[in-house]
Structure 1
């Protein structure tokens, strides 16, 4: 039962963040903080070595520094930066972190193109009565939390916690 909770909390948090980002163009801090707390609880419950947990926090710190630079350059939103940092914690300093970040970048391109197409055709979609969130029609930015969530969902099986829970 505990293993199922561990394996569902991370993707559930990512999906919740993506939905919030699409609907409001905001990712609440409680989602990112929750993912950090859940990581700590999950790590302790499967007895990950302390060194591995420490390196995971170091990896999240490195990702945070990169995200902070992008935020300062007005390229990335604060909620996206915090979510990406919290998610990076689940991957740690592991090759899976590179897979996750590459997946996020790839999904970011996909989401951006999709949002641009939706904005281009928004008047047609709205004319037939399909309501669209402000973030998909009028906002100047892209709800990048969707890309972060998709990248995480595509690579969750590579996380050290997933391997610890599955016994591999």
Structure 2
């Protein structure tokens, strides 16, 4: 994968998609299906560009994404998570190695907890109500960008020769 400009371009496109997800979640408290679909459909191109083998690499990506979707869909059914967040995380699981995805989930949890505290306090001071809607896509996007940062930096260095 080292030096593969297509991989770096795809990861850059994923980073842009994460920024769009965060922005739309802040504005509308919604992550669009077309964006989640684009992220998911970009994963096979990434697998090809990164030269992942069908077995076990791609099979592992698919298995982790399916497991993530099932667990997170359960949280959605319990009204603990939004549908767009579930789909975004499942789509991201298609891009990341299993341990990297776990790292993303841990970072997302920490960032999301801080975001929840800040947003809930801000909402309560403005409305005196405790029904704040937290744009958790921001935490997902932030954790995703932190996770992708080393690849983005390597791509920038290969393009600029720095």
What residue number does 1:148 align with?
Answer: 140
2:80 partner SS: coil
Which ranges of structure 1 fall in alignment gaps of 5 or more residues?
A: 124-136
Among 10, 17, 21, the alignment partner of 1:13 is: 17
1:76 partner SS: coil
Cα drift, residue 150 of structure 1: 0.8
Q: TM-score, normalised by structure 1?
A: 0.79
Contact 2:36 2:87 in 1 (8 A): yes
Contact 1:71 1:78 in 2 (8 A): yes
What residue number does 2:93 align with?
Answer: 88
Which ranges of structure 2 fall in alignment gaps of 5 or more residues?
A: 156-162
1:68-79 to 2 correspondence within 5 Å? Answer: 68-79=73-84
Contact 1:9 1:38 in 2 (8 A): no
Q: Distance in 1 between matches of 2:92 and 2:7?
A: 18
Runs of at least 4 residues of structure 1 off by over 3 A?
120-123, 137-140
Q: Distance in 2 between matches of 1:4 and 1:62?
A: 27
What residue number does 1:106 align with?
Answer: 110
1:140 partner SS: coil
The answer on 1:55 being equivalent to 2:55 is no
The answer on 1:44 being equivalent to 2:10 is no
1:91 partner SS: coil
Q: Distance in 1 between matches of 2:137 and 2:131?
A: 14
Q: TM-score, normalised by structure 2?
A: 0.81
